[in-house]
Every structure is written in C-alpha cells, then in structure tokens.
Structure 1
Amino acid sequence: MSLLSNFVNLNLSDCTEKVIAEYIWIGGSGMDLRSKARTLRGSVTDPKELPNWNYDGSSTGQAPGKDSEVILYPQAIFKDPFRRGNNILVMCDTYTPSGEAIPTNKRYNAANIFSHPDVVAEEPWYGLEQEYTLLQKDVKWPVGWPLGGYPGPQGPYYCAIGADKAFGRDIVDSHYKACLYAGINISGINGEVMPGQWEFQVGPSVGISAGDELWVARYILERITEIADVVLSFDPKPIPGDWNGAGAHTNYSTKSMRSDGGYEVIKKAIRKLGLRHKEHIAAYGEGNERRLTGRHETANMNTFSWGVANRGASIRVGRDTEKAGKGYFEDRRPASNMDPYVVTSMIAETTILWKP
C-alpha cells in the first residue's frame, strides 16, 4: 500500500500543466452521487470554460437504453482535496441532448427561482445542518455499537469526547479539513445525540451556492468513508426505537429579515410556510415520517408549529433573533436525505414569491 500511495500522491504540477477534472452529478435515486474524470489541458477556474460531457443514463436510472445519453453541464468548481494541486471537482446538472433538463435535475428549477429579481433582491442566506450516520460496512450497524447489540441510552454522546462515546472522529475531522481545502463554506461539525451519528454545517451560503456546496460536501464525505471502509447513511431514522433520527435543519434569512424590523418579516414568512406545510413536507425527504413523530426533538409531521428556542417545533426562532428584532429562523422539518436544491428554493419561493 505504501508504494500505491506514492502514485496516488504524485504532484502532477512538477511535470505537466494538465489537470484532472472530476465531474460530479446526482443519479436517478436523487441521492446516489456519481462521478467520472477527464484530463484538461490546463487550470480552469470558471465552469463556463469547461466542456459539457455525457454519460450513460440507462445505467443510472435516468434514460432508456435505446436513447441513453445524458449531458452534463458544469455549474460549480471546487479544489480537489484527493488529487490536490490544480485538480478540481466539478458539480454538474443533467440535460437531454436537446438541452432540456431531465426530471431528476432539481438544480434547474432552483436556479430559476434564485435568479428571479425579487429573490435576488432579498439575498437569501442559508445555513444547512447535515446530520449523517456512520455504519460498519459488513453489518450496516452504527460504528461503535456492539455487533447485534445496543450501547447505553442517549445522553452522554452529544458533542462528547472519549473512546466509549465518540466514534468515527478521524473520518469527521478528515472531512472537515477536506471541505475547507475544497473551498466549501463549511462552518462547523459536532457529534450528535445518537452514537455513531455526526453533523456538519454549510453556510452561510447565498442562493443556489448552498445546494452546490452541500452536494459537494456530501460527495467528499462519501469518498472519505470509502477510503475508511465505512458506510455513509443519510437515512432519516437509521435505528428504530428510542434513538434520535437524522435531519437537515435549514437556517434561513433574507435581507429584509436581517434588517431593522425583520422580526415581523420573519413571522409573516413563517405564517406562509404554515399554509404550505403539506407541500413542504412532501418535498423534504423520503422516510421523513419515521423521524417527524413529535418525539426526539421533532414536531409531528401532521401539525405545523413554531416557537422561540423550541426544538420540538416545525420552525424554531432563536433567542438572539427575538431579542434583536431581526435575524433568521430554522426550518427543522427537512430530513437528512433531502435535496438541498429543492428545500432551499422552495423556502425562497414560498416566503418571497408566493402570494397566498
């Protein structure tokens, strides 16, 4: 393995101007990240300078075999923490050869919403809290848990330290630094309530960049867990019973909310979200009904609620926001497997564009 590492860590800039671009896209399930690499003649910093590419959509559940070509449009560039140097990761979205967005391309509609003049004027900021669970590969059971058994009940694991309480920190810290290297606006990490479960936060990010950054952060995390021989799960309730689920709490503000008098704007936005509660729940992740039960720091999915500092509500407003009379709020409904393009754009559309 040491000899193999010598090749993996070769510094290409010593001998060539060519760089490797890893094109990333989302497959047919909506959660299966795919990627493949190509060689470029030199360094690229603007996605507009990159060529479109294609792949076999029949192998990803996105096209029939008799007409299987799907086209990749480069949309965002990040530094590659695996190959390093001038090599890059490229977040793409997906189109037919005639230029139409395919049905699983959720970025396309989100970009249209975020480019609307009324949304642009409000400068929507997002802070996305991505929870996830690390599983032992062969048994699909959380890391640190006894095989076929359970650890002690929840309580000592949240933000904990110690070999009997924190499991997988090497993976978590590797991901943290790799995201910073890539240029992702990752703002923190912490251990979660259920042992073997962790969280990272992306943001504040503006508009469509929130979705781009979270998807690439997910990609980097899955690559790191691949190296560590650990399985990454975004299941919103990986272990049934008296264990916390996994969410993707979405913190949100607009320019009006961040300005004087913003608290009234926040309350108006929350009322609009309540009127479209069912539509949002339907778009906030698969299997979310197993998580949003009204227990384990969640609101029941069938009832919309909000409150100050209330982690059992659908929407939580922070004490600082209430005190300052302006700021942001947290939508606690999205599941860990939500599509950030869908959730961020839907919140903007409901709170800024929608007229009840």
Structure 2
Amino acid sequence: MPFKAEYIWVDGTQPTAKLRSKTKIVDDGADLPIWGFDGSSTNQAPGDKSDCVLNPVLSCPDPIRGGDNVLVMCEVLLIDGTPHPTNTRAACTALASQYEDQEPIFGIEQEYTFFKDGRPYGFPVGGGYPAPQGGYYCGVGADEVFGREIVEKHMDACLTAGLHLSGINAEVMPGQWEFQIGPVAAPRVADELWVARWLLYRIAEEFGIAATLDPKPVKGDWNGAGAHTNFSTNAMRSGYDAIITACEALGKRVPEHIAGYGAGIEHRLTGMHETAPWSEYSYGVSDRGASVRIPWQVEKDGKGYIEDRRPNANCDPYVTTALIIETCCSALAQP
C-alpha cells in the first residue's frame, strides 16, 4: 500500500526564511528518495535554472494524516549534490561533527503568537488593547488564555511524531505561547524545531488562525517573542569553570551572534521586557535581563547549562546552534 510523504524544506525568502512542503506518494517498502522542486518559486533559483533538490534528513510519523504516512524534513541541494547557498544545515552539521567529542546539546524554547483577522488572538475584536500583560503568563481561564485548543493539538502531534518535545506554556502576551524542543544534539534539534514549526502552522490553519514568529508582534509595552537557546557540553555538565568559559566566549563575538539570531532583533532586545540591549552583552545568575542567564540551580550544583536569551523567535535554528557551537566549543577546546 503506497504511503504519503510530506517533504518539508526551508526556502530562500529574506530576511526570514519560510517553510514549504509538498506531498510525494511512495511505494510501500521503498526508501525515501531525493526529490525536486521549482526553486524559482521559492527564492532559491532563477527561472532558467530552476531545479533544486530535496534531500531527506529526518523522517517521522505524520500525526495529521496518520497511518503509515510520514513527515520528511529535507535539506536543499544543488543539482550537483552540493549544499544550496540557502542550506544552513550543512554548516551546522560540519561544526557539530568537528566538536562532537564535547557532546554539545541544546534545548530551544520556541515562542510564537497567534493572529486572527489581523490582530493578536485575544485582543479586542473592535480594536484597542486588552488588560496589561502579567496575568496571561501560564494563566488559566477564558479571560486570560487564548488558543489552548490549538496548543494542545500541536503538543499531541509533536509527541506522536516522536519529537523531543519537553513542554509548553502560555506566555506573557495574550495569544502568545511557547513550546520547547530538546535536550538533543545539533543538527537534530534544529531539524525537529523546523518540523514542530510546520506542525504548528498546519494545525493552526485548521482553526483559521495564523501562528507568527514575529519577534515583536505588538509595539509598545508588550513582550516580544524569542527562541531562548539552552546549551551545554560535557565539560559544562561536569564543572562550573566551563560554564564561565562559555559565557565569556559568547561576549567576545557579540556582532556575529546578533547578526545570526534573527531579523528585527533590535526591536525585541531593547533592555526592557526581560531582555538585554542588543548592542550590549552581559551574563548573570538567575538574571532574565541579561544576554545569557545561568540558572540558579546551575550555580548551586556547580555544573549544568546556560541560556542564551538573545535569539529571536524567527531565528534559523541551524544558524543559532552553529554559532553557539563554534563560539563556545572552540573556547572550551583551548588548553
């Protein structure tokens, strides 16, 4: 019996890439083949050289179609088999392999905001603003929580797909939520985050609601949306000196990280709403106003992980994890 394989890939839209997908019917028992697509329609090729290649890198059960159907995360290749210029996974994979002896792992906290009819879900239909933020975070009740039915369905879908989903919660602004993927190594954590994003968009579609990764969906006194990235290596999980080494290393490459952490980052990292200014760098224990937070339990235990709070909700997780691996693991590798 043939099955349906939903091939998913990251396109070439700038400054923030989009997800694309299409369905291939595959014969039962057959391997998932490479496939092609029209790159001239995805900002990845000119019309006279439009062919691009989809190379499967992760397959998991399709929780929407069920049965033997699968979701297939793909990387984009040129027709000669080399990585496409928009393929950020290739560099991430190379760095993860280079430092695999340090066993770097990640947990990414993906925030997002529901929109309906051009307004954040939960904002007044006739215009204006709801009550100030505060009670919405991890809230309960129809006056403070909006979109839970979508969130629950998305959570179940991620678990059915076998993703390393570790939790969900309502966020500070109405209609704003978060899910977490990890802890798991790169590039797998990024593969799974892209699949989880696709599932979020696809499920919200059934409710007539859009999910956006806009880092500052509402201007003014409202929290932005980030992708806080938790990170550790075997040395960090064994001793506190490595924690400090990683934090110090991140402070030496601030421009590179800010440039790779998502478009519009200056609108979110203002020094307000639990952020540090994008142009400055700081780290501290239990400090959500710092660029990098060291959880209090980590200081107490003398080992653990750090949380880079700078990445935007719209970051490319391949780029984010590659930057952190390159910066921290190279510093930790020094004698």
**TM class, shorter-length:** over 0.9
Task: Tell me the residue number matched to 2:95.
Answer: 113
Instruction: Assess, with a 3 A threshold, how the Cα gap between structure 1 residues 202 and 43 changes in structure 2: closer, same or farther.
Output: farther
Q: Percent identity?
A: 53
**1:173 shift after superposition:** 0.5
- Where does residue 11 of structure 1 map in the other structure? none
Among 89, 92, 98, the residue aligned to 2:74: 92
Secondary structure in 2 matching 1:316: strand
1:257 aligns with 2:233: no
Contact 1:43-1:86 within 8 A present in 2 as well: no
Residue of structure 1 in register with 2:20 after alignment: 34
Corresponding residue number in structure 2 for 1:3: none
Q: Which amino acid aligns with 1:289?
A: E
- Which residues in structure 2 correspond to 1:334-349 (within 5 Å)? 334-349=311-326
Counterpart CA distance in 2 for 1:153 and 1:277 is: 33
Q: Distance in 1 between matches of 2:11 and 2:160?
A: 25
Q: Which residue matches 1:57?
A: 39
- Single out whichever of 344-353 and 238-247 deviates more from structure 2: 344-353
User: Match of 2:9?
Assistant: 25
Paired residue secondary structure (1:326)? coil
Shift of 1:18: 1.5
Q: What is the RMSD of the two structures over their aligned residues, measured on CA atoms?
A: 1.2
Q: Deviations over 1:280-320 (max 9, x none)?
A: 00100000100000000000011100000000000000111
Query: Which amino acid in 2 is paired with 1:95?
Result: L
Deviation, 1:73, is 0.6
Structure 1 residues 20-60: Cα deviation after superposition (integer angstroms, max 9, x where no partner): 1111001112431111111111156xxxx321100000001
Instruction: Write the distance in 1 (CA, Å) between the matches of 2:87 and 2:37.
Output: 14
Alignment partners' CA distance in 2, 1:141 and 1:177 = 26
Within the candidate set 83, 90, 107, 1:127 is matched to 107
Corresponding residue number in structure 2 for 1:146: 124
What is the 5 A alignment of 1:227-266? 227-259=206-238, 262-266=239-243
Kindly provide the CA deviation profile for residues 153-202 of structure 1, in whole angstroms up to 9, marking residues without a partner as x: 01111000001100000000000000000010100000000111000000
Farther off after superposition, 273-282 or 25-34: 25-34
Match of 2:297 in 1: 320
Q: How many residues align?
A: 330
Q: Which of residues 261, 270, 279 is equivalent to 1:293?
A: 270
Secondary structure, counterpart of 1:221 in structure 2: helix
Distance in 2 between residues matched to 1:225 and 1:122, nearest whole Å = 38
Q: What is the letter of the counterpart of residue 267 of structure 1?
A: I
Q: CA deviation at 1:101?
A: 1.3
Farther-moved stretch of structure 1 (339-348 vs 140-149): 140-149
Superposition misfits of 4+ residues, deviation over 4 angstroms:
none
The alignment's TM-score, normalised by the length of structure 1, stands at 0.91
Matched residue SS, 2:249: helix
Q: 1:69 aligns with which of 22, 39, 51?
A: 51
Gaps of 5+ in 2: none
Cα distance between partner residues in 1 of 2:159 and 2:252:
38
Q: In the alignment, is the contact (CA less than 8 A) between 1:307 and 1:316 conserved in 2?
A: yes
1:256 counterpart SS class: coil
Determine if contact 1:111/1:208 at 8 Å carries over to the other structure: yes
2:136 to 157, 174, 194: 157
- Aligned equivalents of 2:52 and 2:190: distance in 1? 21
How far, CA to CA, are the matches of 2:93 and 2:190 in structure 1? 10
Question: Which string of whole-angstrom CA distances, capped at 9 and with x for unpartnered residues, describes residues 92-128 of structure 1?
Answer: 0101111221111110111111111xx1111111110
Aligned match of 1:12: none
1:43–1:87: 8 Å Cα contact kept in structure 2? no
Q: Structure 1: where are the runs of 5+ without partners? A: 1-16
Equivalent residue, structure 2, for 1:181? 160
